[in-house]
Amino acid sequence: MKESTDRASAGSWPIRAGTFGVAQGEVAVTSGSGAILKRLAKKVWFRAALFTIAAVVLVLAAGLIASLSPYSLIIDVGQDSVGSVLQILASSMLAVTTFSLTTMVTAYSSATTTATPRATQLLVEDTTSQNALSTFIGGFTFSLVGIVALSTGYYDQQGRTVLFLGTLAMVVLIVVTLLRWIAHLSTFGRMADIIDRVESAASRTLNSYAETPTLGARAFSTAPSGAVSVYAETTGYVTFIDIGALDRCAKKNDVAIYILRLAGATADATHALVLTSAAVDESAAKDIRSAFTIGSHRNYEQDPRLGVIALCEIGSRALSPGTNDPGTAIEVIASLQRVFAGVLERERADDVRYPRVYVCPVPMEDLVTDAFRPLARDGAGFVEVQIRLQKCLHSLADLSVGRSQPFLQSAELAYDRARASLESQDMRVLDEVRSTLRST
């Protein structure tokens, strides 16, 4: 226990002013209920359900609006014109929805096989594709309910006019959405798009984490003697921690809580989630466990390591013998450089909002290892990859005021791997690059 916490505390985050990324502490301060709503909003079914409900309400509201309106609005559009338009809309929206679903599933499968399975959840959360699919489903529901309402005589003549105007508005919305969807498909699920999405997710989480590495709690290196362990009741990955709920529980029970399993760590019945400064009853232990969201898979919301791991996996797969694509690996290294440059330019916030909760931050050394060690290993035989890796790591070392050691150490380890794999001619080129970088 002491060894792990001492090691984590040694890798404190660098402090340097900058104007990069998202609002201060965005991930750290998200409340439990707010996090649940945020996760629900990213679900495809949730957005589709909202659009479907809105479509049904709009269709039925047309008759109500017509009956309550003090004005008479009747447009002679023919007895069956509204029904005909709705019939066309219903049949076409069903086909377009099926096509959109097929396209999205194909993009998910492609990301899994060519990039990394960890990128699939970012494609699933894409708002443009979700809005397109939800609009098409909403249009289909609007048409279907409208046809049923017309056949049952729900509308009078003015109601038919209101429904016709609503149908025209729906057609315009569908056409605009379809045009946006077609434009979006030109990049959706392509390798460059996947790298950009993973880079954005990694930057968002890491920038927020760099500002508040303790998530608003106090930092600690060693838990007090006599601390009591609280274990998880399920096995999985910690995906979210409600620090505010833990602080309230600590105040209620007059204890201090030391978090051992941060987001991204595994939780089970043999490794403690937290330590408490004194024994707590079962009710308090239940409150502590409920502050931890444990899932089957890691996600990017609060996990500072997953983004760089996913980027690294994309680069490593590109360097595999079956793919042999060093260009993609070089793009990944450039993405990692941007991610870490943003982190190094963040200004750390030292305010403690949860004084009874203690967190051991993820050390910078672990993040650098996660990001660059697999690329150095799998790209050892590619001189162009090694050159880009050396330039990237030395550039980050120059940016990291007083904290250059992790980057320089990774550069040295990458050089050792290259020396064991590259031919003498390629090694001379790499040595020239290294000597230039050292002299600047």
Tokens of 402: 């007083």
Q: Could you tell me the pLDDT band of residue 15, with boundaries at 50, 70 and 90?
A: very low
At 325-369, the pLDDT tens digits run 999 999 999 999 999 999 888 767 667 899 999 998 888 899 999
Q: Could you tell me the pLDDT band of residue 80, with boundaries at 50, 70 and 90?
A: low
For residue 203, give the nearest of 302, 334, 343 by alpha carbon: 343
Q: What residues contact residue 248 under an 8 Å CB cut-off, 6+ apart?
A: none
Cβ atoms within 10 Å of 33's Cβ, excluding its own: 10
Does domain 2-26+214-295 fall under CATH 3.20.190.10? My reply is no
d(CA 292, CA 275) in angstroms, rounded, equals 14
- pLDDT at residue 10 greater than cutoff 60: no
d(CA 226, CA 247) in angstroms, rounded, equals 20
Q: Are the beta carbons of 301 and 294 closer than 8 angstroms? A: no
Q: What is the DSSP letter of 292?
A: E
pLDDT at 386: 96
- In the chain, where the domains are located: 2-26+214-295, 38-198, 302-439
Q: Could you tell me the pLDDT band of residue 64, with boundaries at 50, 70 and 90?
A: confident
Q: Could you tell me the pLDDT band of residue 73, with boundaries at 50, 70 and 90?
A: low
pLDDT at 287: 94
At 19-60, the pLDDT tens digits run 233 333 333 334 455 667 777 778 888 889 999 999 999 888
Residues 193, 399, 208, 390, CA torsion sign = positive
Q: Could you tell me the pLDDT band of residue 74, with boundaries at 50, 70 and 90?
A: low
Rounded to a whole number of angstroms, the CA Rg of the chain reads 28
What are the Cα distances from residue 122, in Å, to 16, 33, 75, 127?
A: 30, 22, 47, 10
Q: What residues contact residue 418 under an 8 Å CB cut-off, 6+ apart?
A: 376, 380, 383, 386, 427, 430
Rounded to an integer, the average pLDDT of 108-121 is 92
Distance of CA 19 to the CA centre of its chain: 21
| Backbone phi and psi for residue 434, each to the nearest 5 degrees, phi listed first | -65, -40
At 364-398, the pLDDT tens digits run 899 999 999 999 999 999 999 999 999 999 999 99
pLDDT at 396: 94
List 267's β-bridge partners, or say none: 236
Q: Could you tell me the pLDDT band of residue 68, with boundaries at 50, 70 and 90?
A: low
Lowest mean per-residue pLDDT among 183-192, 255-264, 281-290, 344-353: 344-353
| pLDDT > 70: percent of the chain | 88
pLDDT at 67: 59
Q: Are the beta carbons of 294 and 238 closer than 8 angstroms? A: yes
pLDDT at 62: 78
Lowest mean per-residue pLDDT among 57-71, 167-181, 247-261, 269-283: 57-71
At 200-244, the pLDDT tens digits run 999 999 998 888 888 899 998 887 888 999 999 999 999 999 999
d(CA 371, CA 10) in angstroms, rounded, equals 19
- pLDDT at residue 3 greater than cutoff 70: no
| Three-state SS at 257 | strand
pLDDT at 383: 95
d(CA 40, CA 381) in angstroms, rounded, equals 45
d(CA 289, CA 309) in angstroms, rounded, equals 27
At 292-329, the pLDDT tens digits run 999 999 999 889 999 999 999 999 999 999 899 999 99
- pLDDT at residue 66 greater than cutoff 70: no
Q: Are the beta carbons of 287 and 250 closer than 8 angstroms? A: no
Q: Which residue has the higher pLDDT, 297 or 15?
A: 297
Q: Are the beta carbons of 236 and 296 closer than 8 angstroms? A: yes
Rounded to an integer, the average pLDDT of 420-440 is 90
Q: Could you tell me the pLDDT band of residue 438, with boundaries at 50, 70 and 90?
A: confident
Tokens of 204: 């968002």
pLDDT at 137: 95
